[in-house]
Structure 1
Amino acid sequence: MTMKPIIIYLSLIFGILSACQQRPNVQQERENPNQEEAESHDDPIVHITAEQIKAVGIQLGPIEHKELSSTIRANGSLKVPKTHKGYVTTLYGGTIRQIHTLPGQYVRRGQLIATLANPQFLQIQEEYLTTLSRLTYAQQEVDRQQILQEGGAGATKNLQNAKAELSSLKARTASLAQQMRLAGIDPSSISADNLRGTLSIVSPIDGVIGEIIGQIGSYIEPSSPIAEVIDNASLHLDLNVYEQDLPKIKVGQTIHFRLTNSPNREYDARVNTIGSTFEANSRTIAVHCDLVGDKTGFIDGMNITGVISLGEELLPAVPDAAIVHADGKDYIFVQRDMGHSHEDEWEFTPVEVIRGTSQLGYTAITPLENLEEGAVIVLRGAFFVNARLREADADHGHAH
């Protein structure tokens, strides 16, 4: 049992010694007139044809300078404040006769949304007209009793009763008139020949119809919603920030965010207020942000991924896809001999870089060797260039 490790150990020493004895031969093989091959080994170059560039979709360009910052990433959603949402409701129950809008349609405040039918509407109008007629008679009776009282022929009690009846009828008339106004009926527009059997339900705010809850023929209870109206112009962004990151958030900070269903476009927002209570079922606090710029296409409830900038700095940066990781190091590929490359072939060499902060598809870099001003690099397709380089290295190793 103890001999086996010793044998393995001796075998390793023998292998090392053998390699050392063979080194001079290898060195002699390398010391040959082919100086170009030696330079190629010291400064690796990969050749890419124009056809390959087109087929793979390789994109070239300069290193850009981006305002990148120390950031906090957070998820959230677009929301409309409750003060800018409304339900289309009615104070009276009724059967839905017609619905005049569709989901997604923009409506104005006061615009007709639905029509209800209920015999109660006719009863209110009938009572209003009856009370209005009695009010006219009551006023005439007060005037008559007043004249009799002044002539000493009337009793004071009769005048008082007439005034009390007039006051009661005025109150009832005003009440019925207000009920009709709340129901959307103009009291001055009704008469014995013009009674309305339906009730017009209108939008309480400007906005977009989010959902139609009622159906034609269904009975709607008083105050039950028929439809929902949302004012998307008042959308804001709610970010869910964890408590350990909260001290880093300040009012006025810039938020860069992307929609979950459209990650290729970036939008901006600005921190407005910071919540003071934890969200349900999480240890996050809502950070409310105002949207900046175009809001076209935004819908209440859309999920987003946001980045909070903690401090901006102009840094050399490349797209994330321009950096390849190999052998524990990060590289970009720089085009060689700008202006001298053949039209059908291009040369690239890897340059090691140190990664910096990453933000929304860009990463700050620090090249470990000086690059010419305006140096052109591989922005997209670096993985293919790296694969070609590895293939060339493997072929070079087999050749030896």
Structure 2
Amino acid sequence: MTRNNMKTEKTTAFAFLLALSCGICACIGENGPSAEQDSKTVTADSTRGQEIVELTEAQLQHADIETGKAAQKASSAAITVNGLAVAPPENRHTVGFPMGGYLSSVRLVNGAPVRKGTVMATLEDMAFIQLQEDYLMAKSRLVAAQADYKRQQVLNSTQSASDKVFQQARAEYENQRILVASQGEKLRLIGIDPATLDESHITREVELRSPINGIVSNVLANPGKYTAPEDVLFELVDPSKVYLALSVYEKDARLLKQGQRVSCYANTDPRKRYEATVELINGSINENRAVEVWCSFTSSPAPLMPGTFVTAEIQLSDEAGQTLPEEAVVRWQNKHYVFSAEGERRFAMRAVEIGHTADGYVQIVSGLPENDIVLKNAYSLLMMLKNGEEGG
């Protein structure tokens, strides 16, 4: 390669590098001020406990923000909850027998309907015979004590017997009356009528009868089993009165009132709905952070069996209040906020307490400022505010 050629190549390379450097400088000169200007379009001010975002005129137009006042309107809403159809405690019966004995027969199965007085099982034991014997012996001694009392009463009236003898006869008569009465109640407790009992009707078997009209929900007995007084033999349910036991989370508990209408359906048949009314509201929150609500069906008898799982809608009261469109209320860190207009391009984020939501509107319970509220694209302001704070 000649010296002239080498000189020509060096000149060409220098010219290329110079042109490239000028191009880069020109690009930096064009983009640098624009990036700096964009970083200054949003100003976030969190001083004095206030969060304020300030927009440029271009950003305000681009955000398509609308402001206005909250509307005073009546809103109707419902909360959806789950629950169970249950029988109240007074309609659930646990059946046992007050004395020990052997079960000689059991006549029922789970789900069987029973009427009050229906024989559910029969038991036998020697203790039953002893109770009948004690009653008849006490009844016999009462007859003798009564005759002696009347005789001593006549003798005492003529001074033919001392007062002491008469008093002893009267005491014995009274004691026998008490004994017969107590022995009779023991017989009634195991289902034997003392009025019909005599020496020819002593039995070793007694019948266990249903105390209510209802349905057998559980059978815990079988023939040949020895039952003690504390044993449970049958569980009965009276389906004539069934409640809805609903579980309402604590955030919605303040919206509940007695008398609110409830519409529910069994999870097995969502097409068929039943009406009920809120009757009782538990005043405490359980371990699941929920409140138990008892509702009574409007139809009688109850349309659902105890134990049925249900989904229910509780209709909240139609009350007039300050409402805003749903998109006017933003959620940040588990709290609700609105943006109020503090100037032509300045907006302040204010905490509010909300009520129920219905038909695209949110009821504002407290915290609503007097200034105009951002009704549209409030979330755009939230994102600008938080991005501005991070950038600052």
- TM tier relative to shorter chain: 0.5 to 0.7
TM-score, reference length from structure 1: 0.58
Please state how far the C-alpha of 1:199 moved relative to its aligned partner. 1.5
Match of 1:14 in 2: none
Match of 1:361 in 2: none
CA contact (8 A) 2:98 2:190 kept: yes
Quick one: distance in 2 between partners of 1:239 and 1:202? 34
TM-score, reference length from structure 2: 0.59
Match of 2:143 in 1: 136
Report whether the alignment pairs 1:189 with 2:196. Answer: yes
Residue correspondence of structure 1 range 149-298 to structure 2 within 5 A: 149-279=156-286, 281-293=287-299, 298=304
Identity across matched positions, percent: 30
Quick one: distance in 2 between partners of 1:100 and 1:131? 35
Please state how far the C-alpha of 1:252 moved relative to its aligned partner. 1.8
Change (3 A) 1:119 1:286: same
CA contact (8 A) 2:148 2:169 kept: yes
Please state how far the C-alpha of 1:95 moved relative to its aligned partner. 1.0
CA contact (8 A) 1:87 1:204 kept: no
How many residues align structurally? Answer: 249
Quick one: distance in 2 between partners of 1:91 and 1:151? 50
Report whether the alignment pairs 1:148 with 2:155. Answer: yes
Please state how far the C-alpha of 1:294 moved relative to its aligned partner. 6.8
CA contact (8 A) 2:102 2:224 kept: yes
Change (3 A) 1:254 1:296: closer
- Structure 1 gaps of 5+ residues are 1-5, 7-67, 313-354, 358-400
CA contact (8 A) 2:240 2:300 kept: no
Match of 1:336 in 2: none
Quick one: distance in 2 between partners of 1:251 and 1:146? 68
CA contact (8 A) 2:258 2:281 kept: yes
Quick one: distance in 1 between partners of 2:305 and 2:157? 73
Report whether the alignment pairs 1:116 with 2:123. Answer: yes
2:93 to 86, 89, 97: 86
- Mark the structure with the bigger radius of gyration: 2
Report whether the alignment pairs 1:125 with 2:132. Answer: yes
Quick one: distance in 1 between partners of 2:203 and 2:303? 41
Report whether the alignment pairs 1:307 with 2:317. Answer: no
SS at match of 2:313: strand
Let me know the Cα RMSD of the aligned residues: 2.3
SS at match of 1:170: helix
CA contact (8 A) 1:190 1:196 kept: no
Task: Give the letter for the 2:201 counterpart.
Answer: N
SS at match of 2:138: helix
Please state how far the C-alpha of 1:190 moved relative to its aligned partner. 1.1
- Superposed CA deviations along residues 186-214 of structure 1, whole A, max 9, x for unmatched, are 10111111102111111122111111111
Change (3 A) 1:246 1:141: same
Quick one: distance in 1 between partners of 2:213 and 2:303? 17
Quick one: distance in 2 between partners of 1:221 and 1:126? 22
Task: Give the letter for the 1:203 counterpart.
Answer: S
2:79 to 67, 72, 75: 72
Quick one: distance in 2 between partners of 1:226 and 1:129? 30
SS at match of 2:258: coil
Please state how far the C-alpha of 1:288 moved relative to its aligned partner. 0.9
